[in-house]
Amino acid sequence: KTQVEQSPQSLVVRQGENCVLQCNYSVTPDNHLRWFKQDTGKGLVSLTVLVHENDKTSNGRYSATLDKDAKHSTLHITATLLDDTATYICVVGDRGSALGRLHFGAGTQLIVIP
């Protein structure tokens, strides 16, 4: 059973618009949550990591929130650029060490059009 669900599955926005990506999970324990960006044909690049209850992070035009009670995270992208076209993957870690496992969502495919 999939333990990390992302929505929407795909999303098309115009350059300059804002967008919000959602991640719901059932992983227990949920030590931390990461968002990755995967360009087509490339590897995953870490955008941010959230650790604490009600954590919020900001990395340039990317900002993320985590609600551990609801087991829910959002990734906000502000003023999208064409280069934001990629798949965004939500990942939940069940421990804070290498002994833990990462649980991957299937990703949201974002397409930014001119």
Partner 1 sequence: DMKVTQMPRYLIKRMGENVLLECGQDMSHETMYWYRQDPGLGLQLIYISYDVDSNSEGDIPKGYRVSRKKREHFSLILDSAKTNQTSVYFCASSSTGVNSDYTFGSGTRLLVI
Q: Which positions lie near partner 1, rule CB under 8 A?
A: 2, 4, 31-32, 34, 36, 41-46, 49, 51, 89, 91, 93, 96-98, 101-107
Of 103, 113, 112, 114, nearest in space to 36 by CA: 103
Indicate the residue among 15 and 72 with the shorter CB distance to partner 1: 72
Q: Is 41 helix (H, G, I), strand (E, B) or coil?
A: coil
Rounded (to 5) percent helix, strand, coil in the chain: 5, 55, 40
Least Å distance, CB 18 to partner 1, is: 26
Least Å distance, CB 59 to partner 1, is: 12
